[in-house]
Structure 1
Amino acid sequence: MLLWIICLAQELILSTWEGAYNLQCQNLDSAGEADVRVAKVLWWYYFSKAIEFMDTIFFVLRKKNSQITFLHVYHHATMFNIWWCVMNWIPCGQSFFGPTLNSFIHVLMYSYYGLSVIPSMHRYLWWKKYLTQAQLIQFLLTISHTLSAVVKPCGFPFGCLIFQSSYMTTLVILFVNFYLKTYKAKSSKLNTNGSTSSLELKNGFHKDLVNASNGGVHKKHN
Structure 2
Amino acid sequence: MGEEKGKVSKIRATELLRPFLHRELPVTHQGRGARTRLEMEVLTHKLNLYIDSWMGPRDSRVQGWLLLDDYLPTLLLTLLYLLIVWMGPKYMRNKQAFSCRGVMVVYNLSLTLLSLYMFYELVTGVVQGKYNFFCQDTRSGGASDDRIMNVLWWYYFSKLIEFMDTFFFILRKNNHQITFLHVYHHATMLNIWWFVMNWVPCGHSYFGACLNSFIHVLMYSYYGLSAIPAMRPYLWWKKYITQGQLIQFILTVVQTTCAVVWPCGFPVGWLYFQICYMITLIILFLNFYVQTYKKRGSLPRKEYHNGAVVASMNGHFHGMSSTEGVKHQKLRAD
Fold match by TM threshold 0.5: yes
Residue 11 of structure 1 is matched in structure 2 by 121
Give the Cα–Cα distance (whole angstroms) in 2 for the partners of residues 125 and 11 of structure 1.
Answer: 26
Please list the CA deviations of residues 106-146 of structure 1 after superposition, one character each: whole Å capped at 9, or x if unmatched.
11111211221122443444542311000000000000000
Q: Does 1:207 align with 2:322?
A: yes
Give 1:18 deviation, angstroms: 0.8
Higher share in helix: 1
Q: Which amino acid aligns with 1:137?
A: I
Q: Does 1:173 align with 2:283?
A: yes
Aligned with 1:98 (options 208, 228, 234):
208
Task: Return the TM-score normalized by structure 1.
Answer: 0.84
Residue 117 of structure 1 is matched in structure 2 by 227
Give 1:33 deviation, angstroms: 1.7
SS of the aligned residue for 2:331 comes to helix
User: What does 1:46-195 align with in structure 2 at a 5 Å threshold?
Assistant: 46-57=156-167, 59-60=169-170, 64-125=174-235, 127-187=237-297
Q: Which amino acid aligns with 1:98?
A: G
Give 1:210 deviation, angstroms: 5.9
Tell me which moved more, 61-70 or 148-157.
Answer: 61-70
Give the Cα–Cα distance (whole angstroms) in 1 for the partners of residues 267 and 124 of structure 2.
Answer: 24
Residue 85 of structure 2 is matched in structure 1 by none
Structure 1 portions without partners, runs of 5+ = 191-196, 216-220
Tell me which moved more, 54-63 or 166-175.
Answer: 54-63
Give 1:61 deviation, angstroms: 6.3
Identity %: 60
- RMSD (Å) for aligned C-alpha atoms: 2.3
Give 1:62 deviation, angstroms: 6.2
CA contact (8 A) 2:125 2:144 kept: yes
CA contact (8 A) 2:145 2:202 kept: yes
CA contact (8 A) 1:125 1:203 kept: no
Residue 25 of structure 1 is matched in structure 2 by 135
Q: Which amino acid aligns with 1:212?
A: L
Give the Cα–Cα distance (whole angstroms) in 2 for the partners of residues 73 and 98 of structure 1.
Answer: 20
Q: Which amino acid aligns with 1:152?
A: W
CA contact (8 A) 1:42 1:87 kept: yes
Number of aligned positions between the proteins: 207
Please list the CA deviations of residues 33-73 of structure 1 after superposition, one character each: whole Å capped at 9, or x if unmatched.
21111111100011111111243345456654222101100
The change in CA–CA distance for 1:198 and 1:95 in structure 2 (over 3 A counts) is: closer
Rg bigger for which structure? 2
Task: Return the TM-score normalized by structure 2.
Answer: 0.57
Give the Cα–Cα distance (whole angstroms) in 1 for the partners of residues 329 and 196 of structure 2.
Answer: 31
Structure 2 portions without partners, runs of 5+ = 1-109, 304-309, 313-319
Higher relative contact order (CA 8 A, sep 6+): 1
Give the Cα–Cα distance (whole angstroms) in 2 for the partners of residues 131 and 23 of structure 1.
Answer: 24
